[in-house]
Copies of this chain bind each other. A is one copy, B any other.
């Protein structure tokens, strides 16, 4: 095992051109996953999985992050024992304009 220089292992991320609307809708239809999206949107920097408190167990959380990553919604990379997450804002917005806004907006208390 090459002890290289902290290779910052990166799990596979899809090209957003290869992500289908079906995938994206399936990803965003789950309330827990929208919670994650909302939290990441509010964050200024990368956020570790455990830093977002979710109403589900660890393994389920892992699953949700996985789904979001495969749908091109978030980007993940390791740092130490943590996995940091970010929204793929611009990219995603370009591919599915308006969608993230809808999710974020719906999470806010209606204050018209």
**Does A25 have its Cβ within 8 Å of any Cβ on chain B?**
yes
Asked whether, in the complex, the Cβ of B106 is within 8 Å of the Cβ of A102, the reply is no
> Interface readout for A2-27 with B: 1 if CB under 8 Å, 0 if not?
00000000000000000011100110
- Going nearest first, the 8 A-B pairs with the smallest beta carbon separation are A98-B98, A21-B106, A25-B29, A29-B29, A97-B98, A96-B102, A26-B29, A25-B28
**Does A52 have its Cβ within 8 Å of any Cβ on chain B?**
no
Distance of A32 Cα from B80 Cα, bound (Å): 44
> Which applies to chain A's interface (DSSP): helix, strand, loop or mixed?
helix
Distance of A102 Cα from B98 Cα, bound (Å): 9
Asked whether, in the complex, the Cβ of B103 is within 8 Å of the Cβ of A21, the reply is yes
Asked whether, in the complex, the Cβ of B106 is within 8 Å of the Cβ of A97, the reply is no
CB distance from A31 to the nearest CB of B (A): 7
Chain B neighbourhood of A43, CB < 8 A = none
